[in-house]
Amino acid sequence: MPSSPVMTVSELGEFGLIDAIRSVFQTNADVLVGSGDDAAQLAAAGSVLVTTDLMVDGRHFRRDWSSAADVGHKVAAANLADIAAMGGVATGLVIGLAAPGDTPVAWVEELSQGIAAEVAEVGASVVGGDMTESDTLVLAVTALGRVAGAPVLRSGARPADVVAVAGRLGWAAAGLAVLGRGFRSPRVVVEAHRRPNPPYAAGPQAQQAGATALIDVSDGLLADLGHVARASGVAIDIDSSSFELAEPLLAVGSALGVDPMEFCLTGGDDHALAATYPPGVPLPAGWRRIGVVGAGEHVTVDGAQHEGSTGHRHFG
Amino acid sequence: MPSSPVMTVSELGEFGLIDAIRSVFQTNADVLVGSGDDAAQLAAAGSVLVTTDLMVDGRHFRRDWSSAADVGHKVAAANLADIAAMGGVATGLVIGLAAPGDTPVAWVEELSQGIAAEVAEVGASVVGGDMTESDTLVLAVTALGRVAGAPVLRSGARPADVVAVAGRLGWAAAGLAVLGRGFRSPRVVVEAHRRPNPPYAAGPQAQQAGATALIDVSDGLLADLGHVARASGVAIDIDSSSFELAEPLLAVGSALGVDPMEFCLTGGDDHALAATYPPGVPLPAGWRRIGVVGAGEHVTVDGAQHEGSTGHRHFG
């Protein structure tokens, strides 16, 4: 093996790389067979939730804007939030990494540490993965989880239900807007773009409280409530006066000359949760009312269709 | 949307693409919640097996050598074989597709049909996925499965055990060698490269028969038996006279001037299964004895170390 100031994954090889990162990942009581065999085995009582997400270098993250650990937090959070958005708790993840041969081993180690730290927040474990060479760096994460009782789908919203959200909205989008203009502050929104802080516990809490529909806000609030409206066959109206715009969003809006409300309505990467609750159900802690369900099959803001983009598109 | 003789994924967009392929995938009784929500939900009694694999365009397949349907069969087979190699049966898969925007929609539809057909062979379902744009086409497949009782690991082989294999060895490698020289025949080996035919049922049969170790031959027989030898702390000796070289392998060996035994010992992509059985245990149908387990921690052929490559490396 040639000596090099920066050891690359190509120099170390697949098995050396696996050895290097395996120790980063801890296992929990759900792991019956961990990584190192043809498959892992996780405890599962009755059913298992499963969701998968891809992140592509230069599209979902930029290595000059986010550290490897940031990227690890972000890709894990996207999957863990999807499990929470069923009312579930993640138990295990498998990670696929396709990376150029000149990717530094240290970058992969830091990525793994970021994933491990985010996964530890919900008590889950990384139980396996696959690594291979690719001109484009692509991360593929699949999360498994459990749910106590029936999962909360997108299709259960009913007219007169209350619409509520948990977690931050617009912070990551404001951070991305700042980075896109070459700035690095306000630091809190840049950090929110780099490492989302999804309200994981709010998912199971909504499920226990009787939420009728639940979704992860990954494409933007209006776009994702649109998914709920279509799946449930209902209309959703958002009350813009219910949004308390945080000071950093006001500051970014003012600095960039944009309406900060746009960040809240169309920004995705915070992985907030949105839910509908039957009228009269007390909202669990951390949930705030933002609108109401009616008849129809569309999403409005203060009774009117929203002008402009509603969120992120993955192709085109 | 611009009219075009070949509709691309970029023109159709993510949601249109999902609509186009969703009907390709059938669901089975294990699917409690299918695709279209934040996560899918699969039945799981006690535990769930999980494995993930990446395939990269130009490295694991070439679009000029394999049809989209071939690639679908291949990527599904790699994962389904990993579940079989635990003694399990696959129940559900999730698929990640990162693809250039100019990828034809028809290619993705045919890919999906190939995946669906391979998955149907074992009675499993595709229950979700993610699609996004990428300069490099990368497929990320995760399979979930069940096992009746304890899974068979790589670590259970004991001295005096019998080494056996099920399924074809070397056919896919011979096909790849043929394609690499610009030929298209013998057709049976080229087809074996394009669409492996793993002996899925042989995995659960080995588990029920009391196999002590079990592995999917994906890196090459010697390399994968090396994994068993290390995990179990045993030596494995292969008896080359136990291999009956099929006529197409002899023909390719003769035409290309290579020893066809090399295809069997170091070729991976057939996804044969290799196992160890306690001495005296009758081998299930489809399994053939190829060697014996002894003391040590290495793999030999006819008592001697094998010269040359032992199989595939993913980096470097």
Using CA coordinates, name the residue in chain B closest to A130: B53
Evaluate the CA torsion angle A230, A231, A232, A236 in order and state its sign.
negative
* B2-16, B109-123, B284-298: least confidently modelled range: B2-16
**Residue showing tokens 């997108």:** A154
> Cα–Cα distance between A69 and A117 in angstroms, integer?
9
Same domain, B297 and B166: yes
Same domain, A132 and A171: no
Q: In the prediction, which pLDDT does A15 show?
A: 80
**In a domain? residue A176:** yes
Both structure tokens of A258: 């944009």
Mean pLDDT of B173-196: 95
Same domain, A13 and A101: yes
Enumerate the residues of chain B whose CB falls inside 8 A of the CB of residue A214.
38
**Residue showing tokens 């060895």:** B169
Same domain, B194 and B219: yes
> Cα–Cα distance between A87 and A198 in angstroms, integer?
13
Supply the DSSP symbol for B218: S
Cβ–Cβ under 8 Å, residues A168 and A245? no
**In a domain? residue A155:** no
Return residues 239-298 of B near A (CB < 8 Å). Answer: none
> Cα–Cα distance between A199 and A219 in angstroms, integer?
16
Using CA coordinates, name the residue in chain A closest to B217: A38
Chain-chain contact of B52 with A142 (C-beta, under 8 angstroms): yes
Axis-axis angle for helices B171-180, B187-194 (nearest 10): 100
- Measure in Å the smallest separation between the Cα of B39 and chain A Cα atoms: 5
Return residues 152-191 of B near A (CB < 8 Å). Answer: 153-155
> Cα–Cα distance between B163 and B221 in angstroms, integer?
11
| Helices of type H across B122-259 | 171-180, 187-194, 202-209, 221-232, 247-256
HSE-up of residue A153 (Cα within 13 Å, Cβ side): 16
Using CA coordinates, name the residue in chain B closest to A132: B314
Q: Are strands B213-217 and B299-301 parallel, antiparallel or unpaired?
A: unpaired
**In a domain? residue A74:** yes
> Cα–Cα distance between B294 and A239 in angstroms, integer?
73
Q: In the prediction, which pLDDT does A311 show?
A: 63
Q: In the prediction, which pLDDT does B311 show?
A: 63
Planar angle of CA A49, A224, A143, nearest 5 degrees? 25
With CA atoms as reference, report the closest residue to B55 among B96, B108, B103, B107.
B96
With CA atoms as reference, report the closest residue to A51 among A116, A118, A145, A119.
A145
Where are the strands (E) in chain B, listed by range? 31-33, 40-56, 89-99, 125-133, 138-146, 162-166, 213-217, 235-238, 272-277, 287-294, 299-301
**In a domain? residue B316:** no
Confidence class of residue A21 from pLDDT cuts 50, 70 and 90? confident
Chain-chain contact of A52 with B101 (C-beta, under 8 angstroms): no
Residue in A36, A95, A315 nearest the CB of B10: A315
Amino acid at A90: A
Same domain, B114 and B203: no
Mean pLDDT of B259-273: 94
SS3 per-residue string spanning chain A: CCCCCCCEHHHHCHHHHHHHHHCCCCCCCCEEECECECCEEEEEEEEEEEEEEEEEECCCECCCCCCHHHHHHHHHHHHHHHHHCCCCEEEEEEEEEEECCCCEHHHHHHHHHHHHHHHHHCCCEEEEEEEEECCCCEEEEEEEEECCCCCCCCCCCCCCCEEEEECCCCHHHHHHHHHHCCCCCCHHHHHHHHCCCCCCCHHHHHHHHCCCEEEEECCCHHHHHHHHHHHHCCEEEECHHHCCCCHHHHHHHHHHCCCHHHHHHHCCCCCEEEEEECCCCCCCCCEEEEEEEECCCCEEECCECCCCCCCCCCCC
- Measure in Å the smallest separation between the Cα of B196 and chain A Cα atoms: 17
Same domain, B106 and B200: no
Q: In the prediction, which pLDDT does B23 show?
A: 84
Both structure tokens of A223: 């776009």
Query: Residue A212 above 80 pLDDT?
Result: yes
In this complex, is the C-beta atom of A214 within 8 Å of any C-beta atom belonging to chain B?
yes
Using CA coordinates, name the residue in chain B closest to A38: B82
Q: In the prediction, which pLDDT does A1 show?
A: 46
Query: Residue B1 above 50 pLDDT?
Result: no
Q: In the prediction, which pLDDT does A14 show?
A: 81
> Cα–Cα distance between A222 and A311 in angstroms, integer?
7
Confidence class of residue A309 from pLDDT cuts 50, 70 and 90? low
Backbone angles phi, psi at B72, to 5 degrees: -60, -45
In this complex, is the C-beta atom of A7 within 8 Å of any C-beta atom belonging to chain B?
no
Return residues 117-136 of A near B (CB < 8 Å). Answer: 127-136
With CA atoms as reference, report the closest residue to B40 among B94, B88, B79, B76.
B94
Residue in B48, B83, B129 nearest the CB of A144: B48
Chain-chain contact of B50 with A95 (C-beta, under 8 angstroms): no
Q: In the prediction, which pLDDT does B199 show?
A: 98
Q: In the prediction, which pLDDT does A22 show?
A: 84
**In a domain? residue A170:** yes
Using CA coordinates, name the residue in chain A closest to B92: A50
Q: In the prediction, which pLDDT does B3 show?
A: 47
Of A114, A146, A178, the last residue of a domain is A146
In this complex, is the C-beta atom of A148 within 8 Å of any C-beta atom belonging to chain B?
no
Confidence class of residue B27 from pLDDT cuts 50, 70 and 90? confident
Enumerate the residues of chain B whose CB falls inside 8 A of the CB of residue A86.
33, 37-39, 41
In this complex, is the C-beta atom of A27 within 8 Å of any C-beta atom belonging to chain B?
no
Residue in B14, B38, B83 nearest the CB of A85: B38
Contacts of A16 (CB under 8 A, 6+ apart): none
Mean pLDDT of A265-294: 96
Confidence class of residue B18 from pLDDT cuts 50, 70 and 90? confident
HSE-up of residue B49 (Cα within 13 Å, Cβ side): 28
% of chain A surpassing 70 pLDDT: 96
Which range of residues forms the domain containing residue A197? 162-301
Same domain, A171 and A293: yes
Chain-chain contact of A14 with B315 (C-beta, under 8 angstroms): yes
Chain-chain contact of A47 with B54 (C-beta, under 8 angstroms): no
Of A112, A146, A180, the last residue of a domain is A146
Of B121, B146, B171, the last residue of a domain is B146
**In a domain? residue A2:** no
Chain-chain contact of A136 with B135 (C-beta, under 8 angstroms): yes
Enumerate the residues of chain A whose CB falls inside 8 A of the CB of residue B38.
51, 82-83, 85-86, 154, 214-216
Structure-derived torsion over alpha carbons of residues B223, B228, B233, B238, reported in degrees to the nearest 10: -70
Global model pTM greater than 0.90: yes
Enumerate the residues of chain B whose CB falls inside 8 A of the CB of residue A147.
41
Q: Which of the pair, A307 or B201, is modelled with greater confidence?
A: B201
HSE-up of residue B11 (Cα within 13 Å, Cβ side): 13
Residue in B45, B86, B134 nearest the CB of A38: B86
Per-residue pLDDT tens for B39-83?
999 999 999 999 999 999 999 999 999 999 999 999 999 999 999
Axis-axis angle for helices B105-121, B68-84 (nearest 10): 30
**In a domain? residue A4:** no
Confidence class of residue A23 from pLDDT cuts 50, 70 and 90? confident
CATH of the domain at A30: 3.30.1330.10
Same domain, B140 and B229: no
Query: Residue A135 above 50 pLDDT?
Result: yes
Q: In the prediction, which pLDDT does B22 show?
A: 84
Region of residue B296 (left: phi > 0; alpha: psi -120 to 50; beta: else): left
Chain-chain contact of B13 with A313 (C-beta, under 8 angstroms): yes
Q: In the prediction, which pLDDT does A3 show?
A: 47
Same domain, A198 and A236: yes
**In a domain? residue B314:** no
Q: In the prediction, which pLDDT does A192 show?
A: 96
Query: Residue A238 above 90 pLDDT?
Result: yes
Rg of chain A, C-alpha, whole Å: 20
Amino acid at A201: A
Confidence class of residue B19 from pLDDT cuts 50, 70 and 90? confident
Residue contacts between A and B (CB atoms, under 8 Å): 258
Supply the mean pLDDT for chain B.
Answer: 94
Both structure tokens of B16: 């249109």
Chain-chain contact of A52 with B131 (C-beta, under 8 angstroms): no
Enumerate the residues of chain B whose CB falls inside 8 A of the CB of residue A19.
none
> Cα–Cα distance between B98 and A55 in angstroms, integer?
9
Q: Are strands A138-146 and A89-99 parallel, antiparallel or unpaired?
A: antiparallel
Same domain, B116 and B199: no
Cβ–Cβ under 8 Å, residues A204 and A298? no
Per-residue pLDDT tens for A101-122?
999 999 999 999 999 999 999 9
% of chain A surpassing 90 pLDDT: 87
Query: Residue A247 above 90 pLDDT?
Result: yes
CATH of the domain at A189: 3.90.650.10
In this complex, is the C-beta atom of B46 within 8 Å of any C-beta atom belonging to chain A?
yes
* B166-175, B267-276, B302-311: least confidently modelled range: B302-311
Same domain, B195 and B130: no
Burial class (CB in 10 A: 0-12, 13-18, 19+), A29: exposed
Enumerate the residues of chain A whose CB falls inside 8 A of the CB of residue B36.
154, 231
Query: Residue B246 above 50 pLDDT?
Result: yes
**Strands of A213-217's sheet in order across:** A213-217, A272-277, A162-166, A287-294, A235-238, A299-301
Total domains in chain B come to 2
Rg of chain B, C-alpha, whole Å: 20
HSE-up of residue A149 (Cα within 13 Å, Cβ side): 12
Q: In the prediction, which pLDDT does A313 show?
A: 56
Contacts of A220 (CB under 8 A, 6+ apart): A265, A266, A267, A268, A309, A310, A311, A312
- Measure in Å the smallest separation between the Cα of A271 and chain B Cα atoms: 12
The ipTM is 0.93
Same domain, B219 and B125: no
- Measure in Å the smallest separation between the Cα of A182 and chain B Cα atoms: 24
Cβ–Cβ under 8 Å, residues A129 and A86? no
Chain-chain contact of A143 with B39 (C-beta, under 8 angstroms): yes
Both structure tokens of A149: 């009782």
